Structure formats: structure tokens, C-alpha cells
Amino acid sequence: MTTPQPRTVADELRGAGLRVTAARVALLETVRSGDHLDVETIASGVRDRVGHISVQAVYEALHALTAAGLVRRIEPPGSPARFEGRVGDNHHHLVCRSCGAVADVDCAVGHAPCLSASDDRGFAIDEAEVIYWGLCPACSTAGTAAP
């Protein structure tokens, strides 16, 4: 009896109906190895892996990967779009008002979509997005330190 091989990034792309390219593989690996990355950071990570890629090509690939459910796009108000590899679990985010750091936070109570709308107005709700705002530990400590 053979042990099934773990799925590769290329397998995931094929399974999502996407063409496998070196840039898409590098992009997905970059997003998954990072932490809520912006487009410029992703582009830099892809360039480190495969050489030149335009920012427009990164945007196009991110759009395809997001539509396929392989990456998640988050857009905290006042911040650039960020991308993460954690998908499918309807987790939420903490955002620092000072430095812009973003961290994941699991749903604390309830079942997906984690929150129930007071009036769903006939919508079939399947996801809730919550952003908690505050100061990260570093900024909180810096703000309380004596001048």
C-alpha cells in the first residue's frame, strides 16, 4: 500500500483550474510564507524566487488566486490591500492603529460565519469580516514609556 503524496502548490493550482506557471507558484509560496503582505512585498518575494515580474502581473495573479480561493485579500480601512494564505476558516484580524501591523485572530464564539446579523434582509450569509482596532504590544509599550 502506498502512502498518498502531499499536494504540491502546482497540484493546488491545477485543482483550482488555474494554469501552473513559475510566477504563480512563487507568488503562492510567497504569500503563504509571509504575514499579511502588500502587493509590493509580494512582488519582491516573487522576484527573489523567479526573477523579473511586473507589478501588473502580480495583481493579475493575485486576482486569479483570490477568485480561486487559494489566497485571501483583506483591506483594513486606510490601509493597502494585503494578502494571506490562511483561507477557508473565516478568521478575523487585529490591526494596530499606529504602525499598521496585522495579526490573525480566530473566532471567539459561535459558528461560521461567527456573527449573526440582527436582520439578514434575506441574504444567505456565509461569511463575516471583523477587524479589531487597537495598538499592538510594541506601539502600546512605546506610547506608555516616559519621554
Does the annotation flag 99 for ligand binding? Answer: yes
∠ CA 9-35-116 to the nearest 5 degrees?
95
The answer to whether residues 89 and 130 touch, using CB atoms and an 8 Å cutoff, is no
Does the annotation flag 136 for ligand binding? Answer: yes
Does the annotation flag 114 for ligand binding? Answer: no
At 15, is the secondary structure helix, strand, or coil? helix
Domains along the chain?
9-74 (1.10.10.10), 89-144 (3.30.1490.190)
pLDDT digits (tens, 9 = 90+) for 120-141: 889 988 777 888 899 999 999 8
Mean pLDDT of 39-48: 96
Which of 94, 60, 62 has its CA nearest to residue 76?
Answer: 94
CA end-to-end span of the chain: 67
The answer to whether residues 83 and 71 touch, using CB atoms and an 8 Å cutoff, is yes
Mean pLDDT of 29-49: 95
Does the annotation flag 139 for ligand binding? Answer: yes
What predicted TM-score, i.e. pTM, was given to this entire model?
0.80
